Amino acid sequence: MKLAKAVKVCRIDKPEHFRLADHDPSESFGLSTDIDDVKPVLADAIARLEKLQEDLYADGRWAVLVVLQGMDAAGKDGVVKHVMSGINPEGCDVYAFKAPSAEELGHDFLWRGAKVLPRRGTIGIFNRSYYEEVLVVRVHPKMLAAQKLPPDDTGKTIWKNRFKDIRAFERRLARNGTLILKFHLRISMEEQRKRFLARLEEPAKRWKFSMNDVTERGYWNDYMAAYEEMIRETSTNYAPWYVVPAGHKHVAWLVVSAAIIGALEKLSPRPPQISGAKLKELQAAERALRAEVPRKTKDSSGKR
C-alpha cells in the first residue's frame, strides 16, 4: 500500500498546478531508510518485472519506453542496475545520451531518440534523452548555435515549440503501441555534493567525476526552473512524468519499479494462445518426440 500511494503521489496528473518545490527530494513515504530492510521487496519487484517482460516479449503488441532524467549523481545508472537487473537482455536496450554527435546535430532534436526507439515486445531505457534539448540547451543557449537552426526557429518561442513537438512525438508513439513512462529523479544540491565527494573518495569511482560537474552546480536554480517548466508542459495522460525523490537511492528504486510494474499490469500482456491447425501441428510434434526411443550416446570419455 505504501508503494502504491508513493507512485500516485509521484505521478504528475495535474501538470498545470505542478511545482517542483512541492516534492521533497528526501521523502521516503514511510519506507525504511535502511536498504537491508527493503531488499526482499526489491527482489520481489525484480521477479515480477522479469515475468511481465517475458509476457510482453511473447505478446509482441506493445513497446515500453522508460525515460530517466535527473541532475548528475541523481542515480540514473543505479535505477538501471538495480531495477532492471532481472530482465532478459534480449528484450531490453539501454541508451545513454551524451553530447550530440556531428551526425545527430545535422538532424532535428528528436531524431537521435527516434532512431533507437524500442520495437514491439521490448523495453527501451533512455538514460537522459531528447529532453536534454529543453534542459541543458536551455540553460546553455549558446549550444543552439551548433545546431545550425534557421533564424526563425531560434527566437523566444523555441522552447514552447519544442514542448509542442515533444507532446506530438510522444502522442504518436502512444497511439502506435508504445507505453511511455518518464522519471525525474530528484535530489537536493547538498545530496549531490555528498555524492560527488563520495566519488572522489573512492578510487574506483573517480572516473565518473569531471570538473564540469562542479561548474554545472553554479546553474542549479536555472536547471530547477527548466525542469519545472518541462514537466509542466510535457506530463500527459499518455506520457506521464513521475517526480521521484532520490535522496534515498533504494526508495527511488522501489518507486520506479512499482510504477513500471503497475503500468505493465494494466497492459496485461499475454503469450499468444495456440489453436486450430497450429495446435494440431504442435500436438503431432509432441507425440513424435514422446514416441522416440532414447538412443545411447557417448560420454566425454568415449564410453557408452
Grid cell of 248 as nine digits? 534515498
Residue 295 lies in a domain: no
Q: Quick check: is 291 in a domain?
A: no
Cβ(7)–Cβ(262) below 8 Å: yes
Half-sphere exposure of 158 (CA within 13 A, CB side): 18
Q: CATH number, domain at 39?
A: 3.40.50.300
Distance CA 82, CA 35 (A): 12
178-186: strand order across its sheet: 92-96, 123-127, 63-70, 178-186, 241-245
Are the C-beta atoms of 198 and 192 separated by less than 8 Å?
A: no
Q: In this structure, is residue 294 part of a structural domain?
A: no
Predicted confidence at residue 8, as pLDDT, reads: 96
Could you tell me which of 51, 77, 76, 52 has the C-alpha nearest to residue 64? 52
Q: In sequence order, what are the residues at sequence separation of 6 or more whose Cβ sits closer than 8 angstroms to the Cβ of residue 287? A: none
Q: Which domain holds residue 208?
A: 2-274
* Rounded Cα distance, 4 and 7, in Å: 5
Q: Considering only CA atoms, which of 36, 29, 44 is closest in space to residue 83?
A: 44
What is the three-class DSSP state of 106?
coil
304 in a structural domain: no
C-alpha angle 116-121-123 in degrees, rounded to nearest 5 = 50
Residue 238 in any domain: the answer is yes
d(CA 38, CA 57): 29
Report the C-alpha gap between 128 and 65 in whole angstroms.
12
For position 11, what pLDDT does the model report? 98
Given this model, what pLDDT does residue 187 score?
98
Torsion of Cα atoms, 278 then 279 then 285 then 289, to 10°: 160
Q: State the residue for C-alpha cell 532534436.
A: 109
Taking a C-beta distance cutoff of 8 angstroms, is the pair 102, 216 a contact?
A: no
What pLDDT is attached to residue 303?
A: 61
pTM comes to: 0.90
For residue 302, tell me if it sits in a domain.
no
> Is residue 154 domain-resident?
yes
Write out pLDDT tens, residues 137-178. Answer: 999 999 998 898 988 777 889 999 999 999 999 999 999 999
Distance between CA atoms of residues 151 and 158, nearest Å: 11
Is 265 within a domain? yes
Domain count, the chain: 1
Q: What are the residue ranges in the chain where pLDDT is below 50?
A: none
